[in-house]
Amino acid sequence: MILSSFDLTGKVALITGCNTGLGQGIAVGLAEAGCDIVGVNRSDPHETMAKVTQTGRRFLNLNADLGKIDAIPALVQTAVDTFGKIDILVNNAGIIRREDALNFSEKDWDDVMDVNIKTLFFMAQAVAKQLICQGSGGKIINIASMLSFQGGIRVPSYTASKSAVMGITRLLANEWAQHHINVNAIAPGYMVTNNTQQLRTDEERNQQILERIPAARWGTPEDMMGPIVFLASPASNYVNGYTLAVDGGWLAR
């Protein structure tokens, strides 16, 4: 029956940056669908751990700074040693820096590119090697942005990195479909998290954004749950290399 193809009972999902925000919504959504969760965090994810374990699923926290890629092999190995396998990777961790392009620093360029695209790629590579070893396919979901589609303003490294996320999602999907690994992305619109706190506290900017969203509200971490479960489950087995907007209609305007 179709609804059983959304069931993730017994799957193991590794999620980066799930102590807060969209990553927390993603972790709870996948746990409610049946996954044990491996969280990779630099901050203590006690709230997420409580929410996941309340669903009856296990939560393993691995501490890492994803601004560097050296920790990745050990993260994957520890996840496999603990839960026996990985089925799903969600590359969610991301940062943003705001400054005029004319004044943008090399540090703000490198810091954002390192987390948002370099680590995302090498994490996908490490998990794909494990999935290929396991021989039963898997799902990789990258978190993109409206700025995978649009230029934005005052966020040059963020736009560059998120445009790259959409491109690399397509490339990896092409290379790994033969291994039954689906690589897709979700592009959230304007969502209520730490990432957008600055925008939301600017009353004028907040109003301009709200007026442009057809759904007339900011998105929430809970809005990620249905789309992530779909892309993590057999229900999306013939969806490859696609970036799904979860944006209350922002891109449709």
- Binding to ligand NAP by residue 184, rule CB under 6 A? no
Residue numbers 135-154 binding ligand NAP by CB under 6 A: 143, 145
CB closer to ligand NAP out of 180 and 212: 212
The dihedral over CA atoms of 215, 188, 223, 243, expressed in degrees to the nearest 10, equals: 110
| Cα separations in angstroms, 211 against 22, 62, 189, 216 | 23, 40, 14, 7
- Helix H or strand E encompassing 223: none
CB closer to ligand NAP out of 34 and 189: 189
Tokens at 50, concatenated:
């409580």
- Binding to ligand NAP by residue 233, rule CB under 6 A? no
- Binding to ligand NAP by residue 65, rule CB under 6 A? yes
Residue numbers 15-44 binding ligand NAP by CB under 6 A: 17, 19-23, 41-43
- Count CA within 13 A, CB hemisphere, residue 83: 23
CB closer to ligand NAP out of 29 and 94: 94
The distance of closest approach from Cβ of residue 78 to ligand NAP in the complex, given in angstroms and rounded to an integer, is 16
The distance of closest approach from Cβ of residue 222 to ligand NAP in the complex, given in angstroms and rounded to an integer, is 12
Residue numbers 98-127 binding ligand NAP by CB under 6 A: 115
Q: Using CA atoms, how far apart are residues 138 and 181, in angstroms rounded to an integer?
A: 5
Q: Lay out the site mask for ligand NAP across 196-215 (x = CB under 6 A, - = otherwise).
A: x-------------------
Q: Using CA atoms, how far apart are residues 11 and 19, in angstroms rounded to an integer?
A: 20
CB atoms within 10 A of CB 168: 19
Q: Using CA atoms, how far apart are residues 43 and 8, in angstroms rounded to an integer?
A: 27
242 is catalytic: no
CB closer to ligand NAP out of 172 and 191: 191
Mark the segment that binds ligand NAP (CB under 6 A) among 72-80, 191-199, 202-210, 235-243.
Answer: 191-199
- Binding to ligand NAP by residue 89, rule CB under 6 A? no
CB closer to ligand NAP out of 88 and 95: 95
Q: Using CA atoms, how far apart are residues 203 and 208, in angstroms rounded to an integer?
A: 9
- Strand 12-16 relative to strand 88-91: parallel, antiparallel, unpaired? parallel
- Binding to ligand NAP by residue 244, rule CB under 6 A? no
Question: Strand (E) positions, the chain?
Answer: 12-16, 36-41, 59-63, 88-91, 138-143, 181-188, 243-246
Cβ distance 114 to 159 under 8 Å? no
Residues annotated as catalytic are: 158
Residues lying near ligand NAP in the complex (CB under 6 A) are found at 17, 19-23, 41-43, 65-67, 92-95, 115, 143, 145, 188, 190-191, 193-196
